[in-house]
Each structure stands twice: as structure tokens, then as C-alpha cells.
Amino acid sequence: MTRQSAWERGVEPMPCVPHRRVGWAARNSVIWTRPAAQWARMQTPMNSRPSSRRPPVEARNLADLYALPLLDWNNIADRLTLGVTQAPGTGGPDRHTCWLATINQDGSPHLTGVGALWVDDAFWFETGEQTRKGRNLARDPRCTLSVATDEFDLVVEGTAEQIKDPATVVQMAERWSAQGWPARVDDTSVALTADFSAPSAGPPPWVIYRLVPDRTTAIETIEPGGATQWRFDSN
């Protein structure tokens, strides 16, 4: 996923305008973000949201000190459903990069970029089992994934599950391929291969993980701003 030409095919950047980033962290800095009106048009109507969406069981306003509103998790999930591709100019800070944090054997953190997809209320990513993150997840599947969009910065905490269902592996291979990375299922039926991938993924085969959120935190970067943490039922 490091070949830019593969990601850039068919990409049509959405228009952006300079907009003041809100919130206590950067009230006076200017970043390129979509205006609130465009963000509103991107949101999915309530009656078109998937009925299987996991609702949070708790929401805590982290910005009430500044009288900012509680954020709506449905708006966050709707934006993720639109896609957070890594192609330049598709809505993130020139691109979307997901950062995965896992736990080393000595308890120290390990952070690396991954090409994650948001599908069915979860983040999906792949890597080689002998990479550091692969070894870390085999020993301790707890992890954290973060991503920045024009509208919000997001952190997702949960437990990564390795996917071993052949039908699901096929479906995810098709999704990655549709975004420009020519992934295909290998002879084992439960892992992926391709002509290339990110160097940090190691050599093929690459196994797939699903990260279902246990807790998420978002900081909104458009007006009116806000910061909210959600906790989800672990069942």
C-alpha cells in the first residue's frame, strides 16, 4: 500500500476551505477543513443507518469545561462509513493514516501505521504474523487505533480478533482491492497476498484483524467543536 499511484486512481478530492480549528488545543491555529454545512450534508439520514449498529452505553463530555456540546456517535460512525482511504486529497490531512498501538512484551507501547478500513462498526487491518504488531497481538490482543479526518480526531480502544473465516477474508480482500490495493486470498483461504504492501506489514501471507470498539474518544475539529468519549457494551 505504499505505491501512491495505486491509491490515486480515480481519486477526486473534495473541496476544502481554510477554517479555524476549534477547541482548547488550537483556538488560534488554522487548518484546512470542510465547513460545517458540508459536514452536515455528508451525514447519513437516521432511517438509512444500519440497524445493527452498536449503540454506546455511556457518553462522557470531555469539553463541558468550555461549554461545548456532547458529540453524537452516530455522526462519527456515519463519517467513518464514508471511508477513510489513504489516497491523497480524500478528506484527511492530505490523506488518512491510521495508527495502531500494541503492547510489547516488556509492557512498552509499539506504534505503527496501518491501512485500516471501517466496516460493520469495526476497524479492519492486516499484517504479517511475524511482524512486531502481529506478535504483540498474538500475546495480548488489546490495542488502540487512531485516525484524523477533517471533521474530527478519533481514538478507538478495544481487542483485535484475528479473522479465520474464509468467506469474510474474501469479502475484505475485495474491499481492499476496490480501494486500489490488489489484495487477493492466498492458498490457505484465511490470509491475503498481493504484489506489494506496506513494508511494515512484512512479507505475505498477511492475516486480517477486526478491532471492535470498547471505548472511543473524538475531538471535533469543526464548529461548534467538542470532545466526547463513548463506552460500548463488550458483549
> Is 179 within 8 Å of 196 (Cβ atoms)?
no
Residue ranges and CATH numbers for the domains of the chain are 4-8+16-42+60-232 (2.30.110.10)
pLDDT at 24 over 50: no
Strands 192-193 vs 122-127: parallel, antiparallel or unpaired: unpaired
**Whether the predicted pLDDT of 7 surpasses 60:** no
CA contacts within 13 A on the Cβ side of 114: 32
Against a cut of 0.85, is the pTM above it?
Answer: no
Query: Is residue 47 very low, low, confident or very high in pLDDT (cuts 50, 70, 90)?
Result: very low
Report the SS3 class of residue 6: helix
> What letter does residue 174 receive in the DSSP assignment?
H
Average pLDDT, the chain: 80
SS3 99: strand
| Percentage of the chain lying above the pLDDT 70 cut | 74
Distances from the Cα of 22 to the Cα of 12, 151, 222, 226, angstroms: 27, 11, 6, 8
Question: For 175-187, what is each residue's pLDDT tens digit?
Answer: 999 988 999 999 9
Q: Which residues contact 23 (CB under 8 A, 6 or more apart)?
A: 63, 66, 68, 219, 220, 221, 225, 226, 227
CB 117 within 8 A of CB 175: yes
Confidence of residue 30 (pLDDT cuts 50, 70, 90): very low
Flag whether pLDDT at 133 surpasses 60: yes
